[in-house]
A = this chain, B = another copy of it.
Amino acid sequence: MAKSKFEYVKHFEQHQTLLRNTWIVVRIDGHGFHRFSAEHDFAKPNDIRALHLANEAARGVMLELNDIVFAYGESDEFSFVLKRDSTLFKRREAKIISTVASLFTAHYVVNWGKFMDGTAMKYPPSFDARAVCYPTNENLRDYISWRQADCHINNLYNTTFWALVLDTTATPPTTTTRAQEILKDTTSATKNELLFTKFNINYNMLPEIFRKGSILYRTREKVAVKEAQDGSSVEREKSLVHVGHFDVIGDEWWVNGSGASILR
């Protein structure tokens, strides 16, 4: 089609590409989710509905972008791992991160009603995204471990914090400021004990989705597919996305579980 004399402005674009043969991790983060979760009355310390909604949104992203081989979610963040030989969008950083942020947002909004039982969306949520490259399997595993350790640390803190604040038997009620003081510089052991002795909560019995976060991964399975012409079925390989809540810091899942096929 005809070109205009203004076309030269196109050449101001500077495309950044992500280094080849590295694991690309795209992490999306809720934008202003402190306020968003407050305005929409998310349960404290964890809103199971919101976690399932985020998982469904992440599943939507994975079903759209086949190069994502693994995803990990906790709180209002989700990390997506692209296989190291991915050539998605020619590894152009801007296209990759904006598409992941957009897809996640779209699925989050579309599925809101299905998961948030009756809570009206007061205003649309949004997510930012960034990409980081990891050159080795060890670096990638350490990244994932970093996020899962972060999930644990935050969740233990938040569980104890909200147990104190929401404790209706306390006179006077524990303020958030007071709860912060109580927990300042405490070890994991102390928080565990406090939960157990004072609130009769055995931390390790809490749902794994809270303590471990959510892992999404694929398997390829044989499925019977109806052929168009004559109605007969043939076997096809199909990629399935699974959601789990288990340890990904230790070697087990990466060596003997489905993780093995990711790092190979």
B105 touches A19 (CB 8 A): no
Cβ 8 A contact of A97, one of B17, B98, B143: B98
Q: Which B residues touch A93, using CB under 8 A? A: 16, 94
Contact-size category for A: 35 or more
Q: Kindly name the residue among A20, A93, A153 whose own CB sees the greatest number of chain B CB atoms within 10 A.
A: A20
Known contacts A107-B124, A110-B109, A121-B110, A13 near B132 by CB under 8 Å? yes
Q: Which B residues touch A145, using CB under 8 A? A: 4, 6
B101 touches A6 (CB 8 A): no
Q: Which B residues touch A105, using CB under 8 A? A: 101-103, 105-106, 109
Interface of chain A residues 164 through 180 with chain B (CB within 8 A): none
In this complex, what residue of B is CB-closest to A147? Answer: B6
Q: Which B residues touch A11, using CB under 8 A? A: 20
A7 touches B98 (CB 8 A): no
Cβ 8 A contact of A19, one of B106, B135, B149: B135
Cβ 8 A contact of A20, one of B12, B21, B129: B12
B17 touches A19 (CB 8 A): no
A124, chain B: closest CB distance, angstroms: 3
| Copy count, this protein chain | 4
**What does the 1/0 interface line of A78-111 toward B look like (CB < 8 Å)?**
0000000000010001110111111111111110
A173, chain B: closest CB distance, angstroms: 24
Q: Which B residues touch A2, using CB under 8 A? A: 153, 188
B103 touches A124 (CB 8 A): yes
A189, chain B: closest CB distance, angstroms: 12
Q: Which B residues touch A64, using CB under 8 A? A: 126
In the bound complex, how far is the Cα of B79 from the Cα of A10, in angstroms?
A: 13
